[in-house]
Structure 1
Amino acid sequence: KLSRYFDAIKRTLSNSKGQDEIMKDIEMRVAELLQEKQQSDKHVVNIDDVDAVITVMGQPEDYRIDEENSESTTGFSTKNNNVKKLYRDKESSLIGGVCAGLGHYFGIDKVWIRIFLFLLVWFWGTGVLAYIILWIVMPEATTTSEKLEMTGSPVTILNIEKKVREEFDSVSQKFKNGEFDELGNKIKLGASRVSGNLGDVIVSIFKVFAKFLGGLVVLISAILLVAVCVTSIIMIFSTALPNNTILNYFHTPIGLETPLWMQGILFLFAFGIPLFFLLILGLKLLITNLKSIGNIAKYTLLALWIIATSLLVLLGINEASQRAFDGKVVQKQELNIKQNDTLILKFKNNDFYDKKIDGNVDYKISQDENGKTVLYSNNVSIELLKTDAAKPYFEIEKLAEGKTMFDAKQKAEKIRYNFTIKDNVLIFDNYFLTDFMQQFRNRNQKVEIFLYLPKGTFLKPDASVQNYDDSDDDYFNLHFSDDKFVYKAEENKLKCLNCPNYENEFNDVNSVNDSLNEINNDSTSTLILNEDRIIIKKSIDRKNNKETKTIKVNGKEFFRVETEINKN
């Protein structure tokens, strides 16, 4: 039947110009329609498919087009989708036909498209990049069927013959009008464009770049997708894992209070689906004819991604509401030490939980001496401050977050933290404990210690203090090299009494510099080499017109020179 259909068309077009080209376009269009009808991989065409194609293309015996009345139409009915497709129009092109093709697709003059892309050139070359990308991705309209699809005209026998006739008539008319030179120039120009011009070179370069980019996208997306899948599987099946797994010691990727298996499912869909589509995109850059996964799969994955992302947003909002308020419990303790006694400050660890004094564990799941599951944390800090009180004292602040003020305070009250006072020795724990489930409802528990020292108080900090010291360096600059140094609280800072001379010199120099800031005529510059205990100091006394240069080694003055300054 299809063969008889083609024979009938040939008889109809027996006296038409461009019969061979018309038949070629008709056969290509019929092949496209039959391919669209295929619903399996067997590539079998039945009589119903042929009838459907003939209905779309039209019956050749229902009309005849002659030279004098090529615009007339008949009464047969065809299916007209009138859907435009995006092609490059090389016939109306200046470079690659991109602007002309976009003009056909959007129904506007190609001149406006060219002006718009030209203006984009001034925005970091965006117009050039956009043109090159469109040149690569947009196919050229070469056949009559593609040219009809580009303008949105129905691809029927009538329109194909009409289009071919118009092209033949256009060429004939130009020859009749003597436009040989102009036509010849255009033919030469078209030939030069086809024969490997700069545009073809650029396209080739960008095709190679597209392959490289595709490989890079495939590699990165595949690695990330595998990581997401492995993490999600571990989270989903976490209930079957032993209690001492790595999940007990690190935050989950999402960190919500919902069940871990549910977090794993949402994590897989929310992050895995975009990576999957990115992988497909990279493969399409590498493989030109890669088969699509199908619209059903695309829309299903898109729906799952939207649902998972929406749930994560809602859970995130709920999690934020669980941390909306800060709760604090304050414990104050006065230190009854004699006036000239030295307060010894230490931190201690608990070997049952961690044998290191310098532990830096945000949180981990452990068991106490009674076998109860608890949360262990080193989130402890101390700050030394001055006070006008008669005796030193300290405050311990237990902090937590919650959805209400009452809830946050309850969480803070459940923090277990200890300290010891024996004579003039003050020992703080370097950790605290709280309920295991508590942490997963609120992750920001911490303990802050504030030690207030009145003027004249002597302090001897242990070396362990350096791991938890959060004091202002202008008030307390702890010397880390030894735990035998004694500090004295003065008006505005703690001064080391038995530190090496070069450190005291450094403190003295800072004090001098603070005073000299108020004297515009004098200046002091100091270079301190702590490793060799060498101090190079230069002082200018403009009041007495003197400049002094000194060098000290190990606290002893090794060199000193005084010179007069010219008054001018």
Structure 2
Amino acid sequence: MNKTVNINLGGMFFHIDEDAYVKLTRYFDAIKRSLNNSSGQDEIIKDIEMRVSELLTEKQKSEKHVVALKDVDEVIAVMGQPEDYIIEDEEKSNQSFNGSGTRKHKKLYRDKEKGMLGGVATGLGHYFGIEAVWIKILFLIFVFAGFGTGILAYFVLWVVTPEAVTTSEKLEMTGEPVTISNIEKKVREEIESLSDKFKNADYDQMGNQVKSGAERISSSFGDFIMTVFKIFAKFLGIILIMSGISTLILLLIGVFTLGSNIFIEFPWQNFVDAGNFTDYPIWVFGLLMFFAVGIPFFFLTLLGFKLLSPNLKSIGNITKYTLLAVWIIAVAIAISVGIKQATELSYDNKVVEKKTININPQDTLFVKFRYNDYYAKGLNHHRDFEFVQDSANNALIYSNDVRLHVLRTDNATAYLQIEKTARGNSFTAAKQRAEKIDYKIQLNGNQLVLDNYFLTGVKNKFRGQEVDVYLYLPEGQLFKPDTSVQDYDDSENDFFNLHFSGDYSYKVEGSKVKCLNCPADENDFDEDADEENNIVTDTVKEVSIKINGKEVLNGKKTTGKLTTDKNGVIIKIN
């Protein structure tokens, strides 16, 4: 039967066998003798006790577990023998005491001493063996690309990851073996660091600050402001890095895609060329934008890295001035290209084609629009500009920019006038481009069928091409528009008010187009309604109206048109 002892080691409570207790006590006494009153002795002993406590805790199988002599021997084997350690010998101080004390697996801790906020990124950097700045950039990527998940992940890791407080924890964080030599070395380094800070301190300035409480408060407030400014600068630096790198990547993708004909032909190349307003290859414009926009963002990216790491090496004056010169040249060329681009649309011209419609006014003219099922699946397929290919794989520009205008003519017969319009850098160029618009109509007896689209070659480029169809109708002409007309009708409502519902017929009468079978409430020009009410309109010079002996209109006389109904009741005065 062995006697047990209850001890408190490193803040942890243990039941330990008496023989094991004696050996552990001698072990700590030997460590104290080996340290021999070195600087930081108490801190080293405390950290060693914490580490031994952790090792013994790992060996506990239950709350009633008694630490035996075997457990103590295993712990000593990990920590090393103190008699083998000599503080004065720098070479031995850098060695492990036992083969079992070799490098352990790293543990994840927060390094708040070297971290900016909670030390999460710095701790992850230690754990994965990379620079902490890349971890921070990765968090920012998830902030912007992951809809804020980077912030959530950071705070979750902040909460669940313990902070490296003790020396043994700091050694475990970096993957160094937690032995007596490493603990002593770590503590001595921290003490020397603090000693250097005190040696370099300006004690006169510190003494002056102590003399004045107000100065101490002011200094503390200034330190707080500087800390906030530094945090803001770091955050700004990360934002600049993210925005700069993202912009450069997008510009680079643009050069390889929009200007892809340098390297390979992409399916959308003709589409891009069709919208190119200049005579230069599209890849030239892409390179100009890459240099004109990319170089400023490159310098913003460098500024972001400088804010994160002030000691970052400069790229050199030669590189700076070379990039500045390239940027100035690119901006100048881009401005000249922009001016040339504007001139490409400075003139517009048209070609006109007339077709007579041989139909009697007493016969009804049927009008409708049709679509081409090769390019569209319905009339509602509206595109002002679209790149297509025909059945022979010819690259074409497809557009639904077609409008119908119904007008009156004094001629005896109806006729059609088709106007094709385009833009260019001169009247001649605009007219030549308009002539290359392919638009078709079909006239079979009293059936007028109009295409709802037109085509032109990609080499003509998109320059505001459009088609206007003017349908001139004589007095008394009957015509019936199809429901497809409503999407393309651009007539003046004062002359032709197309009703969007119903199957209606129309007739040209005087200066109006009258709907023959529209409901009264839908016909804006129905004069029969006025006749049924016997409304009479007459012109008067002056009128003074009295009702029940009282004069209205504020007793003032007026001149205008007097309108009354069949009973002589005045309706209005215009």
Query: TM-score, normalising length from structure 1?
Result: 0.50
Report the equivalent of 1:235: 258
Picking from 361, 376, 382, the partner of 1:354 is 376
Q: How far is the alpha carbon of 1:543 from its aligned partner?
A: 12
Unaligned runs of 5+ in 1: 1-167, 172-182, 523-539, 549-568
Report the equivalent of 1:486: 505
1:375–1:542 CA distance, 2 compared to 1 (3 A): closer
Q: 2:318 aligned with 1:296, yes or no?
A: yes
Q: How far is the alpha carbon of 1:203 from its aligned partner?
A: 5.3
Report the equivalent of 1:327: 349
Q: 2:506 aligned with 1:504, yes or no?
A: no
Report the equivalent of 1:270: 292
Q: Which amino acid aligns with 2:251?
A: V
Q: Which amino acid aligns with 2:255?
A: S
Q: 2:243 aligned with 1:223, yes or no?
A: no
Q: Distance in 2 between matches of 1:386 and 1:405?
A: 30
Q: Distance in 1 between matches of 2:527 and 2:273?
A: 47
**SS of alignment partner, residue 229 of structure 1:** helix
**SS of alignment partner, residue 354 of structure 1:** coil
Q: Distance in 2 between matches of 1:375 and 1:192?
A: 74
Q: Which amino acid aligns with 1:448?
A: D
Q: Distance in 2 between matches of 1:543 and 1:219?
A: 81
Report the equivalent of 1:375: 397
Q: Distance in 2 between matches of 1:477 and 1:208?
A: 67
Picking from 322, 325, 328, the partner of 1:306 is 328
**SS of alignment partner, residue 523 of structure 2:** helix
Picking from 430, 441, 448, the partner of 1:419 is 441
**SS of alignment partner, residue 249 of structure 1:** helix
Picking from 449, 462, 473, the partner of 2:482 is 462
CA distances 1:196-236 after superposition (whole Å, capped 9, x unpaired): 2xx66555555555555444444444433322211111133
- The answer (yes or no) to whether the contact 2:346–2:426 under 8 Å persists in 1 is yes
Q: Which amino acid aligns with 1:346?
A: K
Report the equivalent of 1:22: none
Percentage of identical aligned residues: 42
Picking from 246, 252, 262, the partner of 2:268 is 246
**SS of alignment partner, residue 381 of structure 1:** strand
Q: How far is the alpha carbon of 1:399 from its aligned partner?
A: 1.5
**SS of alignment partner, residue 374 of structure 2:** coil
CA distances 1:366-401 after superposition (whole Å, capped 9, x unpaired): 444555444333332222233444433221111122
Q: 2:456 aligned with 1:434, yes or no?
A: yes
Q: How far is the alpha carbon of 1:340 from its aligned partner?
A: 2.3
Count of residues in correspondence between the two structures: 342
Report the equivalent of 1:410: 432
Picking from 187, 190, 193, the partner of 2:218 is 193
Report the equivalent of 1:64: none
1:414–1:473 CA distance, 2 compared to 1 (3 A): same
Rg larger in 1 or in 2? 2
Q: Distance in 2 between matches of 1:502 and 1:251?
A: 52
**SS of alignment partner, residue 499 of structure 2:** coil
Report the equivalent of 1:385: 407
**SS of alignment partner, residue 329 of structure 2:** helix
1:229–1:423 CA distance, 2 compared to 1 (3 A): same
Q: How far is the alpha carbon of 1:331 from its aligned partner?
A: 1.0
Q: Which amino acid aligns with 2:298?
A: F
CA distances 1:524-555 after superposition (whole Å, capped 9, x unpaired): xxxxxxxxxxxxxxxx989989899xxxxxxx
| Matches for 1:516-531 after TM superposition, within 5 Å | none
Q: Which amino acid aligns with 1:384?
A: V
1:220–1:309 CA distance, 2 compared to 1 (3 A): same
**SS of alignment partner, residue 378 of structure 2:** coil
What is the root-mean-square deviation of aligned Cα atoms in Å? Answer: 4.4
Query: TM-score, normalising length from structure 2?
Result: 0.50
Q: Distance in 1 between matches of 2:342 and 2:227?
A: 52
Q: Which amino acid aligns with 2:492?
A: D
Unaligned runs of 5+ in 2: 1-203, 546-562
Q: Distance in 1 between matches of 2:569 and 2:225?
A: 74
Q: Which amino acid aligns with 1:226?
A: I
- The answer (yes or no) to whether the contact 1:521–1:541 under 8 Å persists in 2 is no
Q: Distance in 2 between matches of 1:364 and 1:490?
A: 41
Report the equivalent of 2:419: 397
